[in-house]
Structure 1
Amino acid sequence: MLPLPVSLAVRKQFSSTRTRRSTKDVLLTRSRVTNLGLLLLACFAAFSFVLNLGWYFFADARAVEVPLVIERPRLPYTPPTSVLDTIQRDETLSALTHLIVVAGHAIWKGNDAAEILDEDQWILEIYQRGGGRVNAFVQHIMTGAQLAAEDANSLLIFSGGQTRPSSTTTEAESYMRIAVLSDVLPISPPVSGLDVTVRATTEDYALDSFQNLLYAIARFHEYTNRYPENITVVGYEMKRRRFTELHRAALRWPESRFRYIGVDVDGEEAVKAKDGEIMNGYLPYTFDLYGCHGLLLSKRRARNPFHRFHPYYTSSPELATLMNWCPGPAEGGQTTVYGGPLPWDHLDNVSSGDT
């Protein structure tokens, strides 16, 4: 049954009473949501709306005002005792200041010096067969060894990883083996009754030319407990611009302390190789300075069939953030040069003749 309608008199009485109620009474009147609560919600919504408008319209200004923060490595870092206990460096190593890098390109699988130039004893890509490529590899090794022999303050480093699925060794180790069998390794005479020091070693993790240079610097530090003051790179003449204009600049290495020695293949093969270098090497690095995106990254992956990774975060922790630097849109683009501190920053203010 429906309730009876309220009389007109009662309605008038109720209306009269309601008009006399204070604003406070109205706000505190109980309901599903009190009037006071409704007002508070409305104020909060208005405040939130204004705040969001501010964030939206002033986002660009905040982006300009907040500087780019570059992560710094936690220094100083000390390798574990279990590692340090195995290291006993000859005192002559502390005097070495000149890094000579020979970048690897293939793997020699032989053990007979008479077979060094035999292509069948090399693990080669199809494009590396014929045209004198193997002879160029050997000349790189011999040139690097000769330069190291002429400078008693130098350390020769053959650089290159285990890049071929069919190999049991690295590019660097195979180059070192050729140098040993050819009896061309630089040797320092005994000091204070200690054994002779072979001023040559390998860097077994690099997967491309940029890593050849960066990892060779890290390996120099790992071997000598100091960073080099001068660098000489031995490689293809056609790769000169890649190293001198791009890789050196990416590492902020002083131009006055960097030298490149080019040894190329001869004849028609040299022209083909130069064209290939521009399209497959130089130009890609001009768009991806640190080689960590797209095409260049895919090459590194293809050259790492055994899933190796380097030890230089431990032995050269000062280079950790540089080795991790992979600029993208957030950093200003793929060609943004690393801006953090580097162990060789002081060399910019020291002339080559002062050291």
Structure 2
Amino acid sequence: MNNQLHGPGSPKPFLAYPRGEFDLESGNSWKVRTSKNLQSEPFKMLKSIGNRIYYFYKLHPVAICLISLSFGVSILIVLSAYESRFRMMGYRRIGDLSVGSGSYPFANLCNLVMVAGHSVYTSSSCGKIDREDSWFLEPYQKQPGQAATFLSHIKEGVEIAAKDEGALLLFSGGETRKDAGPQSKAQSYWAVAESKGWFGKQDGVRSRALTEEHARDSFENLLFSVCRFRELTGAYPQNITVVSYDYKEERFVYVHRSAIGFPEGRFFLFGTPTSPTAKEAAKKGEASVRIQFQEDPYGCLDSLHLKKLKRDPFHRIIPYPNGCPELKGLFSYCGPVPYPSSLPWT
């Protein structure tokens, strides 16, 4: 009979109360006790280690202090190294600027030569580059000999870069004139230099002459070109040379340079004269603009800001500071006093 009840086909016994959790005599449930030895073992170990450290400290307090100090310094050094490495990797990833494996197309160049553009070349024949009707001129620019001043800037920029094998030549200027069409000042200057053969050999200045095509005023000529330099080289320029009119020297050297905090001893301006017939009017107009920039160094308020909006007829999206992440704060800053935070060159 027992065999039938507990045979292969018989149902399994049912336990009404789990073993070890119910007392049949008292009718009370109780929990399985956990071994005290298993619970207290880790605490005993920690207490033992703590006691050893305490007794060692009593015997050798100076040694413990030196060991703790060394450990803390080591941790700080490791964290600092990882932070620097992460930051540099992050800079190289922004905008997917690198070519190949973490390299830049002009990483060997260290100086910036920037030619500020003043007009757009509109003629279909590059043989007429010295004529005023070949350029799109504002009313105040329509003076005899004005076109020749543009050519002077282009040629001087090329010659300065030719004397410095470590220089990157940038023609700067955006598509600021609606009637001139979607053509930038920078591209006009580069095309003129190319058509006249001023770049020289293929592996000469031409190979390191590029454009910055978003600037809408002189401050942006400087700031945007510095950012463009960072995009192309992976670093910031050691020296900056600006090619423009000589009457703009004070504006560039003292107002714009100060606004970006670039060292005066590493900043140079090569100025050329305007046409004789436009000299007086140019000086008068420059004095007015310089005062505006002295009151609004970053061109972000009132008349200077409105002027930039008018000089963007095609609503171009400015890519900066994507290529120069270290200058993000400077690009967003607006105030009457110089940018207060540190910069890569300060």
Structure 1-normalised TM-score?
0.68
Residue 309 of structure 1 corresponds to 317
Question: SS in structure 2 opposite 1:155?
Answer: strand
1:176 aligns with 2:190: yes
* Equivalent residues of 1:187, 1:199 under 8 A apart: no
- Corresponding residue for 2:53? none
Counterparts of 2:202 and 2:116, CA distance in 1: 23
1:37-56 aligned at under 5 Å gives the runs none
| Conserved 8 A contact 2:173-2:221 | yes
State which of 231, 248, 269 in structure 1 corresponds to 2:257.
248
AA aligned to 1:285 is: F
Q: Which residue of 1 aligns with 2:272?
A: 263
SS class of match (2:321): helix
Match status 1:112 vs 2:125: yes
Tell me if 1:325 matches 2:333: yes
In the alignment, structure 1 residue 232 sits paired with structure 2 residue 252? no
Distance 1:91 1:283, change over 3 A: closer
Please state how far the C-alpha of 1:168 moved relative to its aligned partner. 2.0
CA deviation after TM superposition for structure 1 residue 83, in Å? 3.3
Q: 1:140 aligns with which of 148, 153, 160?
A: 153
1:306 and 1:275 map into 2 onto residues whose CA distance is 30
- 1:106-162: CA deviation from partner (whole Å, max 9, x where unpaired): 100234331101222211111111232211111000000010111101011000010
* Closer, same or farther: CA 185–295 of 1 in aligned 2, 3 Å: same
Which of 274, 277, 289 is the matching residue for 2:283?
Answer: 274
Secondary structure at the aligned position of 1:222 is classed as helix
1:87 CA drift (Å): 6.6
1:99 to 99, 104, 112: 112
The answer on 1:296 being equivalent to 2:297 is no
Contact 2:182 2:314 in 1 (8 A): no
| Aligned-pair CA distance for 1:90 | 8.1
Contact kept in structure 2, 1:89 and 1:224, CA below 8 Å: no
Shift of 1:289: 1.0
Deviates more, 1:308-317 or 1:133-142: 308-317
Aligned residues: 259
Residue 287 (structure 1) shift: 0.9
Q: Which has the larger radius of gyration?
A: 2
CA root-mean-square deviation = 2.5
Secondary structure at the aligned position of 2:178 is classed as: coil
Change (3 A) 1:87 1:217: farther
Q: Distance in 2 between matches of 1:244 and 1:147?
A: 18
1:287 maps to what in 2? 295
In structure 2, what is the Cα distance between the partners aligned to 1:89 and 1:182?
Answer: 36
Contact 1:164 1:303 in 2 (8 A): yes
Long gaps (5+) in structure 2: 1-85
1:122 to 95, 117, 135: 135
* Counterpart secondary structure, 2:115: strand
Q: Deviations over 1:193-240 (max 9, x none)?
A: xxx971110000000000000000000111111111000000011100
Secondary structure at the counterpart of residue 300 of structure 2: coil
> Where do 4+ consecutive residues of structure 1 move more than 3 Å?
74-92, 186-190
Name the counterpart of 1:343.
344
In 1, the alpha carbon distance for the partners of 2:176 and 2:190 equals 16
CA distance in 2, matches of 1:202, 1:338: 27
Describe the superposition over 1:255-301 as per-residue Cα deviations: whole angstroms up to 9, x where unpaired. 0001001112232421221111111x111111111111001001100
Alignment partners' CA distance in 2, 1:269 and 1:234: 19
CA distance in 2, matches of 1:117, 1:142: 13
| CA spacing shift, 1:318–1:85, aligned 2, 3 Å | closer
Q: Which residue of 2 aligns with 1:22?
A: none
SS in 1 for 2:169: strand
- Whole-angstrom CA distance in 2 between matches of 1:248 and 1:80: 29
Following the alignment from structure 1 to structure 2, what is the Cα–Cα distance between the partners of residues 97 and 136? 28
Same amino acid, percent of matched pairs: 37
**Shift of residue 308 of structure 1?**
1.1
Q: Alignment partner of 1:314: what SS?
A: coil
Residues 256 and 290 (structure 1), Cα distance of their counterparts in 2 relative to 1, 3 Å cut: same
